[in-house]
Amino acid sequence: MDIFKQFFPKESGNSFKKHLKNILGFNPGNISLYKTSLTHRSVREAADENNERLEYLGDAILSALVADYLFKRYPYKGEGFLTEMRSKMVNRQQLNEIALRMGLKKITLYNKSDSSLKVSQIFGNTLEALVGAIYLDKGYKKASKWVAERIILPHMYMEDLELLEINHKNKLYGWANKNGKALEFETIHEHIENGRRLFTIAAVVDGQAVAEGRAFNKKDASQIAAQIAVEKLGIGKDSEEAE
């Protein structure tokens, strides 16, 4: 049975296709491909029925398209700048926020009763899977045009991204070193959620936990903890006010 019919019943006509077309801006060809891209493993575990394979493909395609965009936009910038800008543009939090603004949450199938999914970046991952589906359905040129017109231009403000600090761990370490503080990131809890290990990591300053982050890998969890700690400690605010 097509599980999408549970969310888009017959009386609403081609509701799913309408929602999808509004997001895509074009008529999809292989509709089953897009349904797979919008199906999270929490409702379909088989590799050919959920979006993890398309997410893998879309991640690579999106990274290449963003790299191409940056290469052309900044002809005189070096590799380091371009690499950092790409990281800012395709980081999980950024893509998750864009996916939510685009309305992907409305047509993504996932287990809404799973509380752990609320702290993960599944909609950003779904956006990557959608890019993978567009690439397979319409080709590289169409995917390139779609990413530029639907993701980069309306949602990514390059001047702001140039100034954005995304490595909160480095920022927190710099503050700790400057102020003679001992900083550590400790894994305080981990357990299995839907077959995946969920980590809770604390940013510990002078032996006291000041913030916690949760994610499905330690790197993301520690960055979340660092970001919360930076905000909580007011790091950077003094210099901003001085300017």
- Alpha-carbon gap, residue 190 to 212, rounded angstroms: 13
Closest residue by Cα to residue 147 from 30, 54, 25, 18:
25
The helix/strand/coil state of 34 is helix
Contact 229, 210 (CB under 8 A): yes
Query: What's the mean per-residue pLDDT of the chain?
Result: 86
- Per the model's pLDDT, the better-predicted residue between 4 and 80 turns out to be 80
CA–CA separation, 38 and 20 (whole Å): 10
Q: Which of 132, 161, 190 is at the close of a domain? A: 161
pLDDT in tens, 3-51: 666 655 554 446 788 889 999 999 999 999 999 999 988 888 888 889 9
If one counts every other C-beta atom within 10 angstroms of the C-beta of residue 191, the result is 9
The partner residues of 205 in beta bridges, in order of sequence, read 183, 208
176 and 141, same structural domain?
Answer: no
How many domains does the chain fold into?
2
Kindly state the percentage of the chain with pLDDT values over 70: 87
Same-domain status, 59 and 147: yes
Query: Closest Cα partner for 35 from 5, 79, 11?
Result: 5
Same domain assignment for residues 25 and 114: yes
Residue 203: pLDDT above 90?
yes
Q: 101 with 124: CB under 8 angstroms?
A: no
**Residue range of the domain that includes 86:** 4-161
**118 and 219 together in one domain:** no
Please check whether residue 229 is in contact with residue 203, taking contact to mean a CB–CB distance below 8 angstroms.
yes
pLDDT tens-place string over residues 141-189? 999 999 999 999 999 999 888 887 667 888 888 888 889 999 999 999 8
Residue in 90, 220, 110, 202 with CA at minimum distance from that of residue 156? 90
| Selected residue with higher pLDDT from 190 and 117 | 190
Same domain, 51 and 12: yes
Q: How far apart are CA 221 and CA 213, in angstroms?
A: 5
One domain for residues 21 and 102: yes
pLDDT at residue 238 above 60? no
Asked if 200 and 182 count as a contact pair (C-beta separation under 8 A), the reply is no
Report the catalytic residues.
59, 128
State mean pLDDT over 190-195.
75
Predicted TM-score (pTM) of the model is: 0.71
Q: Which of 107, 139, 161 is the last residue of a domain?
A: 161
Give the pLDDT score at 239.
42
Q: How far is CA 146 from CA 35, 57, 232, in A?
A: 18, 16, 38
Contact 60, 80 (CB under 8 A): no
Same domain, 138 and 53: yes
